[in-house]
Amino acid sequence: MITRQNYEIYALDYIEGRLPDDLKKEFERFLNQNPDIREEILSLRNTIAVPTPGDIPFPNKNQLKRSHIDGLTYTEELIISDIEGIATEKQKKELAGLIAHSPQIAREYQAFQQTRLKAPDITYPHKQGLKRKIIDFPTIARGAIAYAALLMMFLAISTFLNKPDKQILTSIQLSGHFEQIIFLTPGDISPFPDISRPVVVSHEKEKLTSSKTEMAGEPTIATIENSSKDSQIVEKIHPRTFSVEPELTHEIVVYKPSQTHTLYSTLSNITTNTTEKLSTWLEKQGIRVSRREFMIKINDKSYGISVAGK
């Protein structure tokens, strides 16, 4: 019970608003019953400066705060979190307050907005070459067309090889993992209606070595020996194809049945210049050219060209 003897115990808490509700009510009742003390309390109230939240804020409080990430300020972390869309509601509110009160932070926020990258308009140039088709006869025929293109390319190579520095094509390697191997050979029936060359089909990954014979005025016959299994496969090639090549080595293959008309190959000992010319030449033939699918190896460095059907 509050009395004239003990009221001072409650007075300060009352003035500072810290009395619990029940005591506050009781104290006010007591004040009403004791006007002189009421006067005294009111006058005392006016002499005490009661701080209210926000009256004297510490300036740049956020500068004292630390970021979770080394090298970033707390404000920068708030800004980037917001830009990244991962800011909490509390962080968003805090940032909004900072932006509202600080033009500098508002400018920073704008500047960070600009760090969002826009994807440039770049397209992959050989998308069609990445696509796959289920093998069928027409597809094989297209593959054969591409193979013919490859042979024509060898012809083109030959013209580049007649250079003073005598860059000689010493080997051709066709490499890759193939489910089916198809070679042109005389004596077999061609599965390609539009190609007169006969074809032999082998089902193994092979390493083949060829040696060349040339007969004037007659198609060149390159004998390709299958070093792994089949006794001999002979390929009929355009007379000029290998005319400048003293030796010719073939390692495998033509194409994957599942992969349409892509030809894989590595040519050794050709200049970079030759590679560029080959690319140009192929493009002139209307053959799409890209890296990778057709590999050319020059002094242990590989360059690639893709040969796709017209």
Partner 1 sequence: MISLEQYNEAVDKYADGLYRFALKMAGDRDDAQDLVQDAFEKLWKNRKKVDSQKIKSYLFTIVYHKFIDNYRKKSFQASLEETGLDPSYTDSYSDVMEILQKAIDRLPPAQKSVILLRDWEGYSYKEIEKITGLNESQVKVYIFRARKFLREFIKDPKILI
Nearer Cβ to partner 1, position 2 or 146?
146
| Among the listed residues 98, 148, 196, the one whose alpha carbon sits nearest the alpha carbon of residue 309 | 148
Residue (131 or 166) nearer to partner 1, CB: 131
Which pairing describes strands 199-202 and 301-305: parallel, antiparallel, or unpaired? unpaired
Q: How far is the CB of 135 from partner 1 (least distance, A)?
A: 11
The answer to whether the beta carbons of residues 132 and 259 sit under 8 Å apart is: yes
Closest by CA to 264, choosing from 210, 216, 307, is 307
Q: How far is CA 40 from CA 13, 35, 180, in A?
A: 15, 9, 108
In the bound complex, what is the minimum distance in angstroms from residue 207's beta carbon to partner 1? 22
91 touches 78 (CB < 8 A): yes
CB of 116 to partner 1, least distance (A): 6
- The nearer residue to partner 1, 135 or 254, going by C-beta atoms, is 135
Return the number of the residue (19 or 146) whose C-beta is nearest partner 1: 146
User: Which tokens go with 74?
Assistant: 């707390």
> Which residues, 6 or more positions from 139, have their beta carbon under 8 angstroms from its beta carbon?
133, 260, 261
Question: In whole angstroms, how close is the CB of 203 to partner 1 at the nearest point?
Answer: 19
Give me the least distance between CB of 121 and partner 1, in Å please.
9
Positions touching partner 1 (CB under 8 A) are 69, 71-72, 76-77, 80, 83-84, 86, 108, 111-112, 114-120, 122-127, 130-134, 290-293, 304
Q: Retrieve residue 25's tokens.
A: 């009510």
| Closest CB to partner 1 among residues 205, 238 | 205
Alpha carbon distance 278, 172 (integer Å): 15
